[in-house]
Chain A
Amino acid sequence: GIQVEQSPPDLILQEGANSTLRCNFSDSVNNLQWFHQNPWGQLINLFYIPSGTKQNGRLSATTVATERYSLLYISSSQTTDSGVYFCAVERRSGYSTLTFGKGTMLLVSP
């Protein structure tokens, strides 16, 4: 199956700092999503981004499909950004489902 690697595994920031999370994947994809899991366990979709660049407020994401990676940028981080960020991909060929990376745990301190 497709491999998904996220880095860094853990990240601690001071409030107001910027950060970049990375997701590498091993095969061509037709679906890539970034999720935020809050401390209560709820998974929230941040971006659907199999290619290109998107922005939503302080968050933006870029996927370079030809080089098989995606980046999630968090600017001016807030304590509410804390949680686990997952990248999930679906292989392009055949019928498949999302494969999740192991996530990046982010802690933003005041």
Chain B
Amino acid sequence: DAMVIQNPRYQVTQFGKPVTLSCSQTLNHNVMYWYQQKSSQAPKLLFHYYDKDFNNEADTPDNFQSRRPNTSFCFLDIRSPGLGDAAMYLCATSRRTSVDIQYFGAGTRLSVL
């Protein structure tokens, strides 16, 4: 089945140690999104790629970076994780047509020790 796959499902890192989360999709969608969701809060958009064009949200910290080497893959890099970066990270994709439905992966839950 076509889907959005996030790896790993759970990630533990140390304070200040760089970490990379990955997302892949078989839907051939041109837009990929990264959201951060903290406990009992709504998902918050960090950035998205529209094809190769990177769109950063104004309040996304510089500590968060992203790469999209091809249509299928997108990575979230956290350069120096702090305790406040512990959260669920959700990847989503969409086709960006007149009917623009976002499809989400299962998420990666990040713990920072």
Contact = CB atoms under 8 A, between A and B. Distances in A.
Nearest to B103: A45
Contacts of A103: 42
B88 interface: yes
Interface residues of A, number: 19
A40 B100 contact: no
B75 interface: no
A41 B88 contact: yes
Contacts of A33: 101-102
Interface string B8-48: 00000000000000000000000001000100011111001
A43 B33 CA distance: 14
Nearest to B109: A41
Nearest to B47: A97
B90 interface: yes
A100 B43 contact: yes
A45 B102 contact: yes
Interface in B61-113: 88, 90, 92, 99-104, 106-107, 109
A86 interface: yes
Contacts of A68: none
B60 to A, nearest CB: 12
Nearest to A105: B40
A31 B95 CA distance: 13
Nearest to A42: B106
A100 B42 CA distance: 6
Interface of A: 31, 33, 35, 40-45, 48, 86, 88, 90, 97-98, 100-103
26 contacts: A31-B100, A33-B102, A35-B104, A41-B37, A41-B88, A41-B90, A42-B104, A42-B107, A43-B43, A43-B90, A43-B107, A45-B102, A45-B103, A48-B99, A48-B101, A86-B42, A97-B45, A97-B48, A98-B45, A100-B42, A100-B43, A100-B44, A101-B42, A102-B41, A102-B42, A103-B42
